[in-house]
Amino acid sequence: MIRKHAFFEGKVQGVFFRANTRDTAREKGVKGWVKNLADGRVEAVFEGPEKKVNEVIEWCKNNQPHARVDGVKVEEEEPTGEFDRFFVKR
């Protein structure tokens, strides 16, 4: 189990980035959350098996259907196991 905290920059708000991230994370069994930031970025926390977490982050960077990710900052953190699902944080 790993935990990664990510910040996505680019055209990532108003393009279903959060909903698509939630759906993809759930399909892969990754837990955590995703939310918009006031500065135009999207922030997310992913917890789960290393391979699956990395797959979701790569999908977010390269395969979001309507978004354009120009940059991503990912920090590794200690997993907490606090999540029972992946959700959009408001």
Domain boundaries, the chain: 2-88
* Each residue's pLDDT tens digit, 73-84: 999 999 999 999
User: Which CATH number does 2-88 carry?
Assistant: 3.30.70.100
- Annotated active-site residue in 3, 18, 22, 41: 18
| Helical pair 50-62 and 17-28, crossing angle rounded to 10 deg | 150
Respond yes or no: is residue 18 known to be catalytic: yes
* Each residue's pLDDT tens digit, 19-49: 999 999 999 999 999 999 999 999 999 999 9
- Annotated active-site residue in 3, 22, 26, 36: 36
pTM for this entry: 0.97
CB 57 within 8 A of CB 74: yes
Indicate the SS3 state at residue 44. Answer: strand
Beta-strand relationship, 31-36 and 86-88: parallel
